[in-house]
Amino acid sequence: MLSKRVKRQDKIVLSLFLASVVFLASRPLFAEFYGAGFLGGTVASKVDIKETGPGVNIKISGAKVDSSVFGGFKFGYWIDGLPYVGLESSLDFFAADVPGQVSGPFILNPTDVSVTAWGFTLMGRVPVEVSKRYPGGRFHPYIGVGPGIFFVTGKRGGEDSDVAVGLQVLAGVKAFLVPNLALFFEYKYSAFTPEFDVAGGRKDKFEYGINAIVLGLAAHF
């Protein structure tokens, strides 16, 4: 039953991502389109855990989350008529495992958590060293904010999955090597709250705050 649920989630996230790509690909002719891949890691991330159920109401704040590889790819465009504004769609893959630990009077058992996040982001940038060769700027710092849909699977004894709507905030800087190819360095914050069923009719809610730093390569068209 669970494997069918996971496969169904994979189909949902793929459909959503493909729909976003089709939307971005149908951009007006005056837009500056780009595609990128990135790889990095999560750092110094925390989670608040709330367990509720028959006779149980416990909250643990600031539990440690293991660092993880963080990678993915994204597509987007900058609008020439509004050179400081763009839209971006991304697909991120990472783990958000909670190791065994002592938090106050509580002992936490380890939980393995895998995440696929689909995001749609409103972007802003500041072109620097604008020229005929680099009309969008040789360098540009940028920021972004938008919703994310997080497909989460947790394993602790048993296994359960959830889909959570959350928030993604990012900031970075892009440097062009040649007019159509750029390196970028980016920080991304992801906030999301999946809920898992556990034994005895209880539910565990994980309120994540994930920090990620990545390095990527982008092609502009």
User: Domain ranges in the chain?
Assistant: 2-220
The DSSP secondary structure of 114-147, one letter per residue, reads EEEEEEEEEEEE--BS--SS-TT-SEEEEEEEEE
176 in Cβ contact with 138 (< 8 Å): yes
The whole-number average pLDDT for the span 43-47 is 93
Cα 215 to chain centroid distance, Å, stands at 14
pLDDT of residue 54: 83
Highest mean pLDDT, choosing among 70-79, 95-104, 150-159: 70-79
Closest of 60, 69, 71, 160 to residue 100, by C-alpha: 60
- Mean pLDDT, the chain, integer: 86
Say what percent of the chain tops pLDDT 70: 86
Say what percent of the chain tops pLDDT 90: 55
Closest of 195, 160, 211 to residue 50, by C-alpha: 195
The whole-angstrom separation of Cα 185 and Cα 116 is: 21
Q: Is the pLDDT assigned to residue 26 strictly greater than 60?
A: no
The whole-number average pLDDT for the span 56-67 is 89
pLDDT of residue 80: 76
Closest of 64, 50, 60, 65 to residue 96, by C-alpha: 65
Helix, strand, or coil (residue 160): strand
pLDDT band at 1 (very low <50, low <70, confident <90, very high): very low
Closest of 124, 100, 113, 96 to residue 190, by C-alpha: 96
Q: For residue 182, which phi and psi values (nearest 5 degrees)?
A: -140, 145
Burial class (CB in 10 A: 0-12, 13-18, 19+), 48: middle
Q: Is the pLDDT assigned to residue 10 strictly greater than 80?
A: no
The whole-number average pLDDT for the span 72-92 is 90
Provide the b/e sequence for 29-39 (b: ≥16 CB within 10 Å): eebbebbbebe
Does 17 or 129 have the greater pLDDT score?
129
pLDDT band at 130 (very low <50, low <70, confident <90, very high): confident
pLDDT of residue 12: 64
The whole-number average pLDDT for the span 11-33 is 59
The whole-number average pLDDT for the span 57-70 is 91
Among all chains, which residue has been given the structure tokens 């007019």? 179
- 2-220 folds as Porin (2.40.160)
The whole-number average pLDDT for the span 94-101 is 92
Among all chains, which residue has been given the structure tokens 């497909």? 151
pLDDT of residue 4: 41
